[in-house]
Structure 1
Amino acid sequence: MNKTICQIVDSSGSLPRDFIKQYNISEVPFYFKFDITNYYRENIDYEITEFYKHMEKHPDDVLKTSAPNIHDWLTVFEEQYARGAKKYIVTTISSKLSSSFQTAISAKKIFEEKNNDAHIEVISSNTCACGQAALEIGIAKLIDSDRDFGDIVETIHKMVTKISTLFVVNSMTYMKAGGRIGGATAFLGKLINIKPVCEFREGVVHPIKAIRGRTKSLKTMIDVAVSRIIDINKMIIIIQNAEFQEDVDYMCNYLRNKTNYSGQIFKSNLGIIVGAHSGPGAIGIGFVEHP
């Protein structure tokens, strides 16, 4: 691995924990709190399983979230600098969904003024969750290939424009509460069991197709994904779920049977910050071509 280039991410991508360790990726956590608690740090202070149990038991307890602050970013920048890193690639959730990108930019300016031999590239993924994770997995592999820093950065910016982030929620209650979907759509879904297939595009949620029933919605999501892929063997694919592992297995099998794909499909839990808006049972697939 190229030890002079370090990779730093915010926690909204919910990268697989073993992948983070394998590629020495630094993760800067988001914060969250319930109505009667202090703030917790994502992936540090609270188990994801317990979080989704809490959501099921207390659906009206709307989560409050907070992006990493400037100090959080600076702390990680300094840790990496002490280890010898001079070049940094930082990725965040879409700048349209959170202030994480802006606080990282502010921290970059402070750090580079203090350390003029450091170069920090901060990139908004323009998405979140599984799409962001697919991008970040690709970045780790680019760094591991010992390519030139400038070439890596240029390639990443091209990759950002080609990410797909598709998802299905089990209940639209949480998206409605978080302001992520219209009240009329949420009400309709409750009445006739609509499970809309949606995507993050340009940092915003867009419905693709309204499907009745959970299994049909999962199949439709994979069908849409496959329709967008030219060569699946060049893709980085990750599936994230909120405590519905059997649906992950179903999606993987359906995707492999439909495409004869035998390559790696990454898997991870849907993180708390994104899961707070999508709720228990949410599941998504993110993919991007690896250059």
Structure 2
Amino acid sequence: MQRKIAQIVDSAGSIPREILKKYHIREVAFHINFGGQQQYREHINISSQEFYLRMKDQPDRIPKTSIPGVAEWTQAFEEKYAEGYRDLIVTTIGKALSSSFQSATMAANAFSKGHPDAKIEVVESNTCACGQAALEIKIAQLIEQGQMVTGELVKRVRELLPGVVSLFSVNELTYMRAGGRIGGAAAFLGKLINIKPVCEFWGGVVRPIKPVRCRKKALQLLVDEAVKRIKQAEEAVICVQHALCEEDADYLVTQLRERLNFNGPIYLSPVGAVIGAHSGPGAIGIGIAEG
């Protein structure tokens, strides 16, 4: 009898809440601190909207994020184990962006020693946000199909990784510069005023695509780039994420449907706090996992 596979993710992908419920995905939350005593846990005691409104109201106070601890990963493993799962696949934000992968791996190694009948595979997504969400939804679909054992599934996921796309634009580079996550977008620093840079996460780092002078052109460029990279929309998971700019997100969804002649699902959710802390309100992106 084939063993059931449980899916566990960190919150950097910010998968839509309804998808978490549909596929019984266990999310392990990042921590958020605005400079005071109180620590927040993403999606648990602070919503995405509350997070971005607070950033907007207090622009001089850049929030800090920290990874889920080993104990939090262990709790997630224990919960799934108690539900009868013995095979667990875990996905995290890319290692170049965070040490969440290392924390999950430490927890998995310790848990496996005490539970020799459990098999835990930890995979770093090599990306984040909308691209990570697209990959994790694709994994959920593959698990639901029930055609692969854990080893086959992990192999398939690793084959998908090089093709995962994470396109994004920010209203300004201020937050990325303050958080030290500017990466390849440093090429835009001399043009901080009145540009809307379009970038992508590639190999876990930011790579610039093109600076444009207005928001509408940035949105259109995001669509153009996404359409170029999607070979067959029916086989792709497409995610749109935004930070307090729902109208722009709806525009992207409409444009993608028209350009791709596609009526299937396009998943919509907020940009998670671990990325939003470095991109700020107004950030928006398109994630794609195909194959």
Range of TM-score over shorter length = over 0.9
Distance across 1 between alignment mates of 2:130 and 2:72:
23
1:54 Cα deviation after fit = 1.3
SS of alignment partner, residue 163 of structure 2 = coil
1:10 aligns with 2:10: yes
Other-structure match for 1:278: 279
TM alignment of 1:200-211, pairs within 5 A = 200-211=201-212
Distance across 2 between alignment mates of 1:168 and 1:99:
24
**1:164-186 CA distance string (max 9 Å, x none):** 00000012111111112266734
Other-structure match for 2:103: 103
Distance across 1 between alignment mates of 2:271 and 2:95:
19
Structure 1: segments with no counterpart, 5+ residues: none
1:146 Cα deviation after fit = 0.7
1:262 Cα deviation after fit = 1.4
1:37 Cα deviation after fit = 3.3
Distance across 2 between alignment mates of 1:253 and 1:66:
35
1:239 Cα deviation after fit = 0.2
Contact 1:170 1:280 in 2 (8 A): yes
Distance across 2 between alignment mates of 1:244 and 1:155:
34
SS of alignment partner, residue 101 of structure 2 = helix
Distance across 1 between alignment mates of 2:186 and 2:211:
15
Distance across 2 between alignment mates of 1:287 and 1:55:
28
| Paired amino acid for 1:250 | Y
Contact 2:242 2:283 in 1 (8 A): yes
Contact 1:173 1:186 in 2 (8 A): no
TM-score normalised by the chain length of structure 1: 0.95
SS of alignment partner, residue 15 of structure 2 = coil
Deviates more, 1:26-35 or 1:56-65: 56-65
> Structure 1 residues 166 and 183 mapped into 2: Cα distance closer, same or farther (>3 Å)?
closer
Other-structure match for 1:87: 87
SS of alignment partner, residue 210 of structure 1 = strand
1:47 Cα deviation after fit = 2.1
SS of alignment partner, residue 170 of structure 1 = coil
Contact 2:67 2:99 in 1 (8 A): yes
| Paired amino acid for 2:71 | H
How many residue pairs are counted as aligned between the two chains?
Answer: 287
**1:213-263 CA distance string (max 9 Å, x none):** 000010011101111121122110000000111001111111122221111
Distance across 2 between alignment mates of 1:143 and 1:184:
41
Alignment RMSD, CA only? 1.4
| Paired amino acid for 1:235 | A
Distance across 2 between alignment mates of 1:39 and 1:109:
27
TM alignment of 1:126-165, pairs within 5 A = 126-147=126-147, 148-165=149-166
Other-structure match for 1:188: 191
Contact 2:3 2:87 in 1 (8 A): no
TM-score normalised by the chain length of structure 2: 0.95
> Structure 1 residues 244 and 72 mapped into 2: Cα distance closer, same or farther (>3 Å)?
same
Other-structure match for 2:217: 216
Q: Percent identity at matched positions?
A: 48
1:11 Cα deviation after fit = 0.4
Distance across 2 between alignment mates of 1:112 and 1:153:
17
Distance across 2 between alignment mates of 1:258 and 1:80:
41
Structure 2: segments with no counterpart, 5+ residues: none
